[in-house]
Structure 1
Amino acid sequence: MTIFKRVLLLLLLSCTLHVAHAQDKYQWKEGSSGGYTYRYVTDDPMQARFYTLKNGLTVVLSVNKKEPRIQTLIGVRAGSNSDPADHTGLAHYLEHLLFKGTNKFGSLDWEKEKAYLSEIEGLYDTYNHTSGPDARKAVYHRIDSVSGLAAKYAIANEYDKMMTGMGAQGTNAHTWVEETIYEEDIPSNAVDKYLAVQAERFREPVFRLFHTELEAVYEEKNRGLDNDGRKMYETMLAALFPTHNYGQQSTIGTIEHLKNPNLKVIRDFYDAYYVPNNMAIVMAGDFDPDYVIKKIDEDFAYMQPKQVQEYKAPQEKPIEAPIVKEVFGPDAENVFLAFRMPGALDARSAVLLNVMGQILNNGKAGLLDLNINKQQKVLNAGVGQLPWKDYTVFYLSGKAKQGQTLEEVKDLLLGQLEILKKGEFDETLVKAIVNNAKLSELQGLESNNNRANAIMDAFIKHRGQQWEHDVEMVDAMGQVTKQQIVDFANKYIGDNYVLVYKRKGEDKNIQKVEKPAITPVAVNREAQSPFLQRIAAMPATPVKPQWLDYDKDIQKSKIGPAEMLYVQNKNNELFRLYYRFDMGAWNNKKLPMAAQYLQFLGTDKYTTEEISKEFYNIACNFNVASGTDVTTITISGLQENFDKAVTLFEHLLTHCQPNEEALAALKGRLQKARTDNKLSKVAIMRGLVQYAMYGPRNPYNNQLSQQELEGLTSKELVDMLHQLPSYKHTVIYYGPQTLAAAADAVKQLHTIPAAFTAAPKPVTFAKSSQAKNQVLFADYDMVQAEVNWLRNTGGYNPSNTAVIDLFNNYFGGGMGSIVFQTIRESKALAYSTYAFYVTPDKKEDRYSVVAYVGSQADKMNEAIGGMNELLNDIPRSDKLLETAKESMKQNIETERITQDGIIFSYLAAQKLGLSTDYRKQVYAAIDNLGFDQVKQFHDQNLANKPYTYCVLGSEKRISMDDLKKYGEVKKVSLEELFGY
Structure 2
Amino acid sequence: MNFFKKITIATSIAAASFTGYAFGQDFQWKEAKSNGYSYKYVTNDPTSARYYTLKNGLTVILSPTNKDPRIQTYIATKAGSKTDPADHTGLAHYLEHMLFKGTDKFGSKDWAKEKPLLDKIDALYEKYNQTKDEAKRKEIYKEIDKTSGEAAKFAIANEYDKLMADMGADGTNAFTSFEQTVYTEDIPSNVVDKFLTVQAERFRQPVLRLFHTELEAVYEEKNRSLDDDGDKVYDKMFESLFPNNNYGKQTTIGTIEHLKNPSLTAIREYFNNYYVPNNMGIIMSGDFNPDEVIAKIDKAFSYMKSKPIPTYNIGQEKAITAPITKEVLGPNPESLMMGFRFPGATTKDARLLTLVGNMLTNGQAGLIDLDLVKKQKLLGAYAFPYVLKDYSVLLLQGKPTEGQSLDEVKNLLLQEIDKLRKGEFSDDLIQSIVNNEKKSIIQKDEKYSSRAGILMDEFTSDIDHKTSLEYVEEISKLTKKDIMDFASKYLQANNYVSVYKRKGEDKSIVKVDKPTITPISVNREDQSEFLKKVEEMPENAIAPVWLNFDKDITKNKLGNVDVLSVKNTDNALFRLYYHFDSGKWNNKILPLAAEYLQYLGTKDKSSETISKEFYKLASSFNVSAGNEETYVTLEGLNENFDKTIALFEDLIKNSQADQKALDAYKIRLKKSRDNAKQNKSTIMAGLRSYAQYGAQNPFNNVLSDAELDALKAEDLINVLHDLFNFKHRVLYYGPKAGNEVVASLTPVHKLPATLKELPKSKTFTQVPTDKNKVLFAHYDMVQAEIFWVRNSDQYNASITPTVSLFNNYFGGGMGSIVFQTIRESKALAYSTYSYFSLPSKKEDKDIVMAYVGTQADKFNDSTLAMNELLTTLPKSDQLFETAKNGLKKSIASERITQDGIIFSYLRSQKLGNNFDMRKNVYDQAPKLAFTDINSFHDKEMKGKNFTYCLVASQDKVNEADMKKLGEVKKLNLNEIFGY
- For residue 614 of structure 1, what is the aligned residue in structure 2? 613
Mapped pair 1:734 → 2:733? yes
Mapped pair 1:771 → 2:781? no
- For residue 57 of structure 2, what is the aligned residue in structure 1? 56
Instruction: Output the CA distance in 2 between the equivalents of 1:165 and 1:184.
Output: 13
- For residue 570 of structure 1, what is the aligned residue in structure 2? 569
- For residue 213 of structure 2, what is the aligned residue in structure 1? 212
Amino acid at match of 1:276: P
- For residue 422 of structure 1, what is the aligned residue in structure 2? 422
- How far is the alpha carbon of 1:14 from its aligned partner? 7.8
Mapped pair 1:470 → 2:471? no
Instruction: Output the CA distance in 2 between the equivalents of 1:344 and 1:900.
Output: 35
Mapped pair 1:177 → 2:175? no
Structure 1 unaligned blocks of 5 or more: 17-21
Instruction: Output the CA distance in 2 between the equivalents of 1:945 and 1:919.
Output: 29
- For residue 20 of structure 2, what is the aligned residue in structure 1? none
SS in structure 2 opposite 1:748?
A: coil
Q: Deviations over 1:380-404 (max 9, x none)?
A: 1000122111110111100011111
Q: Which moved more, 1:733-742 or 1:857-866?
A: 733-742
Structure 2 unaligned blocks of 5 or more: 16-22
What TM-score, normalized to structure 2?
0.98
Q: Is the 8 A contact 1:26 1:471 kept in 2?
A: yes
- For residue 346 of structure 2, what is the aligned residue in structure 1? 345
Instruction: Output the CA distance in 2 between the equivalents of 1:14 and 1:956.
Output: 51
SS in structure 2 opposite 1:599?
A: helix
Amino acid at match of 1:40: Y
Mapped pair 1:90 → 2:88? no
- How far is the alpha carbon of 1:24 from its aligned partner? 7.2
Mapped pair 1:43 → 2:41? no
Instruction: Output the CA distance in 1 between the equivalents of 2:894 and 2:354.
Output: 35
SS in structure 1 opposite 2:851?
A: strand
The 4+ residue runs of structure 1 with deviation greater than 3 A are 9-12
Amino acid at match of 2:645: V
SS in structure 1 opposite 2:106?
A: coil
Instruction: Output the CA distance in 1 between the equivalents of 2:515 and 2:695.
Output: 39
Instruction: Output the CA distance in 1 between the equivalents of 2:629 and 2:10.
Output: 31
Q: Is the 8 A contact 1:70 1:283 kept in 2?
A: yes
- For residue 337 of structure 2, what is the aligned residue in structure 1? 336
Instruction: Output the CA distance in 2 between the equivalents of 1:345 and 1:549.
Output: 48
Instruction: Output the CA distance in 1 between the equivalents of 2:739 and 2:713.
Output: 39
Q: Is the 8 A contact 1:40 1:50 kept in 2?
A: yes
SS in structure 2 opposite 1:45?
A: coil
Amino acid at match of 1:77: K
Question: Closer, same or farther in 2 for the Cα pair 1:268/1:378, shift >3 Å?
Answer: same
Q: Is the 8 A contact 2:14 2:441 kept in 1?
A: no
- For residue 489 of structure 1, what is the aligned residue in structure 2? 487
Amino acid at match of 1:412: L
Instruction: Output the CA distance in 1 between the equivalents of 2:149 and 2:787.
Output: 30
- For residue 19 of structure 1, what is the aligned residue in structure 2? none
Amino acid at match of 1:683: T
SS in structure 2 opposite 1:814?
A: coil
Amino acid at match of 1:322: P
Amino acid at match of 1:581: F
Q: Is the 8 A contact 1:14 1:457 kept in 2?
A: no
Q: Deviations over 1:184-237 (max 9, x none)?
A: 000000100000000000000000000000000000000000000000000000
Q: Is the 8 A contact 2:10 2:345 kept in 1?
A: no
Q: Is the 8 A contact 1:586 1:629 kept in 2?
A: yes
> Which residues of 2 match residues 61-460 of structure 1 at below 5 A?
61-346=62-347, 348-460=348-460
Instruction: Output the CA distance in 1 between the equivalents of 2:310 and 2:10.
Output: 31
Q: Is the 8 A contact 1:12 1:441 kept in 2?
A: no
Q: Deviations over 1:396-454 (max 9, x none)?
A: 10001111111111110011111111001122110000000011001000122211111
SS in structure 2 opposite 1:13?
A: coil
Amino acid at match of 2:480: K
What TM-score, normalized to structure 1?
0.98
- How far is the alpha carbon of 1:633 from its aligned partner? 0.5
Instruction: Output the CA distance in 2 between the equivalents of 1:951 and 1:253.
Output: 29
- For residue 18 of structure 2, what is the aligned residue in structure 1? none
- How far is the alpha carbon of 1:748 from its aligned partner? 1.8
SS in structure 1 opposite 2:403?
A: coil
Question: Closer, same or farther in 2 for the Cα pair 1:11/1:846, shift >3 Å?
Answer: farther
SS in structure 1 opposite 2:813?
A: coil
Amino acid at match of 1:205: P
Q: Which moved more, 1:348-357 or 1:66-75?
A: 348-357
Identity of aligned residues (%): 55
Instruction: Output the CA distance in 1 between the equivalents of 2:301 and 2:767.
Output: 56
Q: Is the 8 A contact 2:563 2:742 kept in 1?
A: yes
Instruction: Output the CA distance in 2 between the equivalents of 1:270 and 1:323.
Output: 37
> Which residues of 2 match residues 502-513 of structure 1 at below 5 A?
502-513=501-512
> Which residues of 2 match residues 468-867 of structure 1 at below 5 A?
468-494=466-492, 495-867=494-866
Instruction: Output the CA distance in 2 between the equivalents of 1:583 and 1:520.
Output: 50
- How far is the alpha carbon of 1:659 from its aligned partner? 0.3
Q: Is the 8 A contact 1:154 1:208 kept in 2?
A: yes
Instruction: Output the CA distance in 1 between the equivalents of 2:102 and 2:628.
Output: 48
Instruction: Output the CA distance in 2 between the equivalents of 1:426 and 1:823.
Output: 56
- How far is the alpha carbon of 1:310 from its aligned partner? 3.6
SS in structure 2 opposite 1:927?
A: helix
Q: Is the 8 A contact 2:625 2:631 kept in 1?
A: yes
Question: Closer, same or farther in 2 for the Cα pair 1:600/1:23, shift >3 Å?
Answer: closer
Q: Is the 8 A contact 1:351 1:476 kept in 2?
A: no
Instruction: Output the CA distance in 1 between the equivalents of 2:24 and 2:364.
Output: 29
> Which residues of 2 match residues 898-917 of structure 1 at below 5 A?
898-917=897-916
Instruction: Output the CA distance in 1 between the equivalents of 2:105 and 2:154.
Output: 12
SS in structure 2 opposite 1:507?
A: coil
SS in structure 2 opposite 1:304?
A: coil
Q: Is the 8 A contact 2:70 2:187 kept in 1?
A: yes
Q: Is the 8 A contact 2:856 2:957 kept in 1?
A: yes
- How far is the alpha carbon of 1:15 from its aligned partner? 11
Q: Deviations over 1:582-641 (max 9, x none)?
A: 111000001000000110000011000000000000100111000111111111100000
SS in structure 1 opposite 2:599?
A: coil
Instruction: Output the CA distance in 2 between the equivalents of 1:15 and 1:279.
Output: 25
Q: Is the 8 A contact 1:166 1:187 kept in 2?
A: yes
Q: Is the 8 A contact 1:12 1:440 kept in 2?
A: no
Q: Which moved more, 1:478-487 or 1:98-107?
A: 478-487
Q: Deviations over 1:106-158 (max 9, x none)?
A: 00000000000000000000000011110000000000000000000000000
- How far is the alpha carbon of 1:345 from its aligned partner? 2.0
Instruction: Output the CA distance in 1 between the equivalents of 2:399 and 2:65.
Output: 41
Instruction: Output the CA distance in 2 between the equivalents of 1:351 and 1:599.
Output: 30
SS in structure 2 opposite 1:749?
A: coil
Instruction: Output the CA distance in 2 between the equivalents of 1:461 and 1:845.
Output: 49
Instruction: Output the CA distance in 2 between the equivalents of 1:742 and 1:563.
Output: 12
Amino acid at match of 1:791: R
Instruction: Output the CA distance in 2 between the equivalents of 1:113 and 1:373.
Output: 60
SS in structure 1 opposite 2:2?
A: coil
- How far is the alpha carbon of 1:309 from its aligned partner? 1.6
- How far is the alpha carbon of 1:351 from its aligned partner? 2.2
- How far is the alpha carbon of 1:23 from its aligned partner? 7.4
SS in structure 2 opposite 1:207?
A: coil
Instruction: Output the CA distance in 1 between the equivalents of 2:658 and 2:692.
Output: 39
Instruction: Output the CA distance in 1 between the equivalents of 2:315 and 2:593.
Output: 53
SS in structure 2 opposite 1:32?
A: strand
Q: Is the 8 A contact 1:336 1:398 kept in 2?
A: yes
- How far is the alpha carbon of 1:5 from its aligned partner? 5.0
What RMSD in Å do the two structures reach over aligned CA positions? 1.2
SS in structure 1 opposite 2:746?
A: helix
Q: Which moved more, 1:349-358 or 1:549-558?
A: 349-358
